[in-house]
Amino acid sequence: MSTATETQRKAPAGERVADWADGRLGIYGLAKANMRKIFPDHWSFMLGEICLYSFIIIILTGVYLTLFFNPSMNEVVYHGSYEPMNGIRMSAAYASTLDISFDVRGGLLVRQIHHWAAIIFLAGMFVHMFRVFFTGAYRKPREINWLFGFLLFVLGMFTGFTGYSLPDDLLSGTGVRFTQGAILSMPIVGTYISMFLFGGEFPGTDIISRFYSIHILLLPGIMLGLVVGHLILVFFHKHTQFAGPGKTNKNVVGMPLLPVYMAKAGGFFFLVFGFIAILSAVATINPIWALGPYRPDQVSTGAQPDWYMGFAEGFVRVMPGWEINLWGHTLVLGVLIPLVLFGVVLGALALYPFIESWITGDKREHHILDRPRNAPTRTGLGVAWVTIYFVMLIGGGNDIWATHFHLSLNAISWFVRIAFFVGPVLAFVVTRRICLGLQRRDKEKVLHGRESGTIKRLPHGEFVEIHEPLSPGQLHTLTAHEQYKPVEIGPTVDENGVERKPSALQKLRARLSKSYYGEDNQIAKPTAEEYKEITSGHGHH
Amino acid sequence: MSSQQIPEENLPEVQDTAHGAVEGAGDPFADPGLPAHRPRIQDIDERAARRSERAVAFMFTLSMLATIGFIASYVIFPVDKIVYIWPLGHVSALNFSLGMTLGLALFLIGAGAVHWARTLMSDVEVADDRHAIEATPEVKAKVMADFAAGAKESAIGRRKLIRNTMFGALALVPLSGVVLLRDLGPLPEKKLRKTLWAKGKQLVNMNTMEPLRPEDVVVGSLTFAMPEGLEEDAHDFQTQIAKAALMIIRIEPDNIKDKREREWAHEGIVAFSKICTHVGCPISLYEQQTHHVLCPCHQSTFDLSDGARVIFGPAGHALPQLRIGVNSEGNLEALGDFEEPVGPAFWERG
């Protein structure tokens, strides 16, 4: 006992604080597992970090904004620093946003950082999600983390929407009106939900304060929980890595959290924050003062939502205005179908990992990432999804496309309608062919070496390019991917000679499996025999 | 600087390749194991390392200066000072200087830290083992046994009455929360069907706030109107104008293709709801030659000379028309409310 107290007395202050905390929180156990935790290095692994840091920036700046913002729809007459709005009737929410922009020193900067960070947050999540998708990182054991990330993306969209609606300016109010119109299209419950959400008829006097509590409390609260869960799972699962020499499904190769990633990731937070601050100094985002306060009978032309809502906007714009009137009721398909498609398109993304694992029947853990080319069907499907997304972004900005490129609005709308069906199919086919081509190229490289660019003239006058053999590490990297065999339905007659009828589901699965891993859908990896035969003795190439 | 200049003892020892298991030596594609670490210039040349140190410290120092610059900008620039900065144009001096200094102060901390990590911290790659996430069969068996014991001791399986009533109670209790939401808003009733328009209400020009007279409305012009008695400072102005806003145009009566439209007009002056039947944006673009109006939100286009039917875009039905006439004072007046709900369609619209 006495020796223990003696060493404690001698310990430096930092260690004594750590001892104190360890006695209460058990931090040494946590630190042992995590302080030197290994993280692999790849540029694409920092995309998620951009999301995390922009989320933190949004929370920091958001708290500051709440100190000045007044989420009230009370009508006031503006008397402030912004001359053009003097004497104009507006809501207190809009007036306080003008005050933040023109009277609070630095308020405009914080508002701009908040909005830019939100846009980058959503863009970062989109790109991060597709990094995860195209490399198959969502496979077991990470399906739940995929869902967490998916929820963060969807909630991020709605947090963004409720946030940019708060200033109650003419543009965002138009977006809220659109939302109310979409809610009204829901059969049976639409009018009730609208009345309850708005506290009566549109716009009423409640929606800003309700959006406020949703925007600053409800959604970010859920998101914060999801972010923490997402990170805990990243630590728990350990990061995925690309195949390479020394990298296996049973290890993780990289550098330790302390000090390398403390410095790199911690530093990256400051890089992201600094970048967004400079962006906010030089590029104006959402100049609400130029738009004026919201009035339901006024509108500006060229109205656009923030980019992440653009694809929903696209569905609404290009959908034909179908309405069915029967038995005294109206089914507003022209708005309802876009609303449903919005959910279906997003939902497909959430479900994909489960669909793929059902098709492959693969229940093993995967920690080695796929190169997109080595999973042509998945890559094709992903590109098809992205194609739908971007086609709809074009649809959502059809007026902007029309005015900036001098195109016919009708033609753009028709293009989008057709491209919604044709685009993803084309994208799928083309992407898959490109993937297969790249697989062939990898095989070629493994068997015949890398094109060196050096041209040699043979004694008889022929010119040949010298191919350099790959290093053992490169050979391994290019052949490390797994190739599945398509699932077979199995014999239709069992061992007792009784005929067995495969269920429709089994047949579907076999067909899908064939389209993923059938002969024409992946290029067989080079075998050691092929390699040896080509490299032994012949000396050609 | 090439490696020949580096004294032998400064070179790192060659790393063993034992990390990755080398499977089957005969396989040309077998994993050769982790490659040997290649030293950076800073690992072997102390002068280079010192240069890196100075670079990092320089960035951190600049960051400090930028923060001082931030505070100085905050004090120096008035909030309303506008300056011209190429190529941005006229910008707020305060916003620009605060953003740039804050951005630099932050960015330089990040750049310094990353440079430090990349040049001076060890970049030796090491391998950590992964452990199976699934529990071992023994652990699983223990958990299952524990759970079975707990469940048995609770008797939840045997005493079904307790179990069922508990599920019932737990299922019902959230209903209180749902009921509490009832007062979020009123029931729809007929609210979406009625507007402020009624027989005898005069049409007020929204620009002049004066009652509209037929002679004010000329062919080719688009006028917005609202019902008399609606004041901009009324507490429900926004809600009322969201339904009552009108578009007034004049068309030569012979050019009106729709029979009912002609009947509901006054000498070719027609009044249509300004609220788009798609999702409720106010329609504001008028093409005077064709009498088409376009909603700028989603580009629904209506032909005001033909009962405001939809000729393009996502709207599902025509704009409602308001029946108008002229009162004894010679002002335009409504002859009733709209006969159908204005704005977006909904389930009960019929």
What's the pLDDT tens digit per position in A319-332? 988 988 888 889 99
Judgement on whether residues B118 and B232 belong to the same structural domain of the protein: no
Residue B328 lies in a domain: yes
Residue B171 lies in a domain: no
For the purposes of burial, counting CB atoms within 10 Å of the CB of A474, is it exposed (0-12), middle (13-18) or buried (19 or more)? Answer: middle
State the pLDDT at residue B5.
Answer: 45
Q: Which of residues 455-484 of A touch B (CB under 8 A)?
A: 472-473, 475-476, 479-480
CA of B337 to nearest chain A CA: how many angstroms apart?
Answer: 18
CA of B241 to nearest chain A CA: how many angstroms apart?
Answer: 6
The model's pTM: 0.91
Q: How many residue contacts between A and B have a Cβ separation below 8 Å?
A: 370
Judgement on whether residues B321 and B196 belong to the same structural domain of the protein: yes
Judgement on whether residues B79 and B204 belong to the same structural domain of the protein: no
Chain A contact probe: residue of B52, B60, B95 with most A CBs at under 10 A: B95
| Contact yes or no for A263 and B21 at CB 8 A | no
Contacts of B274 in chain A (CB under 8 A): 297
Judgement on whether residues B197 and B299 belong to the same structural domain of the protein: yes
Tell me the C-alpha distance between B13 and B32, whole Å: 19
Judgement on whether residues B108 and B221 belong to the same structural domain of the protein: no
HEC secondary structure over A226-281: HHHHHHHHHHHHCCCEECECCECCCEEEEEEHHHHHHHHHHHHHHHHHHHHHHHHH
Judgement on whether residues B200 and B307 belong to the same structural domain of the protein: yes
The whole-number average pLDDT for the span A71-98 is: 93
Contacts of A528 in chain B (CB under 8 A): 26-29
Question: pLDDT tens across B151-182, in order?
Answer: 999 998 889 999 999 999 999 999 999 999 99
ipTM of the complex: 0.90
| Contact yes or no for A178 and B297 at CB 8 A | yes
Judgement on whether residues B326 and B209 belong to the same structural domain of the protein: yes
DSSP assignment of B271-300, as one string?
EEESB-TTT-PBP-EEETTTTEEE-TTT--
Residue B81 lies in a domain: yes
Residue A94 sits at the chain B interface (C-beta within 8 Å): no
CATH 1.20.810.10 domain extents, chain A: 35-309+316-369
**Is the confidence at residue B220, as pLDDT, over 90?**
no
State the pLDDT at residue B288.
Answer: 86
Question: pLDDT tens across B267-277, in order?
Answer: 889 999 999 99
Tell me the C-alpha distance between A21 and A23, whole Å: 5
CA distances from B209 to B223, B226, B231, B232, B274 (A): 12, 9, 10, 10, 17
Contacts of B313 in chain A (CB under 8 A): 317, 321, 413
The closest of B117, B149, B106, B69 to A274, measured between CA atoms, is B106
DSSP assignment of B6-33, as one string?
S-GGGSPPPPP--SS----TT-TTS---
State the pLDDT at residue B11.
Answer: 44
Q: Where is the domain boundary, B102, B125, B148?
A: B125
Judgement on whether residues B240 and B321 belong to the same structural domain of the protein: yes
Percentage of chain B modeled with pLDDT above 70:
93
State the pLDDT at residue B12.
Answer: 43
Residue A491 sits at the chain B interface (C-beta within 8 Å): no
Q: End-to-end CA distance of chain B: give it in Å, rounded.
A: 83
Residue A339 φ then ψ, to 5°: -65, -45
Structural domain boundaries enclosing B221: 192-334
Question: pLDDT tens across A430-477, in order?
Answer: 999 999 999 999 999 999 999 889 999 999 999 998 989 899 999 999
Query: How many folded domains does chain B comprise?
Result: 2
State the pLDDT at residue A6.
Answer: 54
**Is the confidence at residue B27, as pLDDT, over 60?**
yes
Question: pLDDT tens across B66-98, in order?
Answer: 999 999 999 999 999 999 999 999 999 999 999
Do the Cβ atoms of B282 and B245 come closer than 8 Å? yes
DSSP assignment of B334-346, as one string?
ESSS-SS--SS--
Q: Which residue of A has its CA nearest to B81?
A: A102
Chain A contact probe: residue of B16, B106, B195, B285 with most A CBs at under 10 A: B106
At a CB cut-off of 8 Å and minimum separation 6, what does A417 contact?
A: A318
Tell me the C-alpha distance between A301 and B297, whole Å: 7
CA of A202 to nearest chain B CA: how many angstroms apart?
Answer: 6
The closest of A155, A133, A144, A112 to A47, measured between CA atoms, is A133
Contacts of A411 in chain B (CB under 8 A): none
Contacts of B225 in chain A (CB under 8 A): none
Question: pLDDT tens across A301-352, in order?
Answer: 878 889 999 999 999 999 988 988 888 889 999 999 999 999 999 999 999 9
State the pLDDT at residue B14.
Answer: 42
Tell me the Ramachandran region of residue B336: left when phi exceeds 0, alpha when psi lies from -120 to 50, beta otherwise: left
Helix (H, G, I), strand (E, B) or coil at A187: coil
Tell me the C-alpha distance between A37 and A31, whole Å: 9
Contacts of B33 in chain A (CB under 8 A): 245-246
Residue B228 lies in a domain: yes
Q: Where is the domain boundary, B125, B150, B167?
A: B125
**Is the confidence at residue B320, as pLDDT, over 60?**
yes
Residue A350 φ then ψ, to 5°: -65, -40
Judgement on whether residues B327 and B227 belong to the same structural domain of the protein: yes
Question: pLDDT tens across A148-203, in order?
Answer: 999 999 999 999 999 999 999 999 999 999 999 999 999 999 999 999 999 999 99
**Is the confidence at residue B2, as pLDDT, over 50?**
no
State the pLDDT at residue A538.
Answer: 54
User: In this structure, which CATH number among 2.40.40.20, 1.20.810.10, 3.30.70.580, 3.10.100.10 belongs to the domain A35-309+316-369?
Assistant: 1.20.810.10
